[in-house]
Amino acid sequence: MNTVGRVALVSLGLVLTSWLLAVRADEITPAWMTVDAVKRSVRLLIAGSADGTNGTMNFNGYGQGEMSVNVPLGWTVRVDFENKGLAALPHSLVIINPVTPLPIEGGVPAFPRALTVKLVPGLLAGETDSFEFVADKEGRFLFFCGVTGHGVAGMWDYLSVSKEATLPSVHVTRKR
């Protein structure tokens, strides 16, 4: 490889390294998560359109995979969902398997009953719904808004289920 090729390769490496360093995952202890280790259950208060992040297409202020909720295998997960209503758009929530391409609307639940009512039309501002499921299979899944166009616009985050996890946790990233 000639000198120009080596310089170009080193430059590319520096650009990629700086980009990777700009994304950092932080563990947080959010007020919206309640853990009962004795009952092996976790309650998540998930707000659709919690703020203006991602054009209001977010869950608890995170979108495009910036949030990862990690749950031990076999735990019961209760989700209390509220559409906070910023921008007056309807929203919904379903836990889906990660698929490519993402669905334009709806989504098949990865766990039985892991979805809100009105999945495609969505809940209106101020409306709520709850669901509960057992995280009985390992993997990385998506919190996904099933309203037409919302999920593909970035209204999705991660749910990871792992036998190595001992307690639920939340990790968030912000692209800097």
Model pLDDT, residue 23: 53
**Contact residues for 55 (Cβ-Cβ < 8 A; gap 6+):** 87, 153
Are 142 and 46 a contacting pair, CB within 8 Å? no
**Nearest Cα residue to 154 out of 133, 175, 137, 134:** 175
3-class secondary-structure state, position 31 = coil
CA dihedral 25, 116, 98, 20 (to 10 degrees): -20
Burial (CB count <10 Å: 0-12, 13-18, 19+), residue 126: exposed
Are 98 and 141 a contacting pair, CB within 8 Å? yes
**Contact residues for 28 (Cβ-Cβ < 8 A; gap 6+):** 170, 171, 172
Nearest-angstrom CA–CA distance, 176 and 171: 16
Please state the domain extents for the chain.
25-175
Q: What is the CATH number of domain 25-175?
A: 2.60.40.420
Are 163 and 138 a contacting pair, CB within 8 Å? yes
Model pLDDT, residue 87: 75
pLDDT (tens digit, 0 to 9) for every residue of the chain, 176 residues total?
554 444 333 333 433 433 444 456 799 999 999 999 999 999 999 999 999 999 999 999 999 999 999 999 999 999 999 999 887 899 999 999 999 999 999 999 999 999 999 999 999 999 999 999 999 999 999 999 999 999 999 999 999 999 999 999 999 997 54
Nearest-angstrom CA–CA distance, 134 and 10: 48
Model pLDDT, residue 86: 81
Q: Which two tokens stand for residue 158?
A: 């991660």
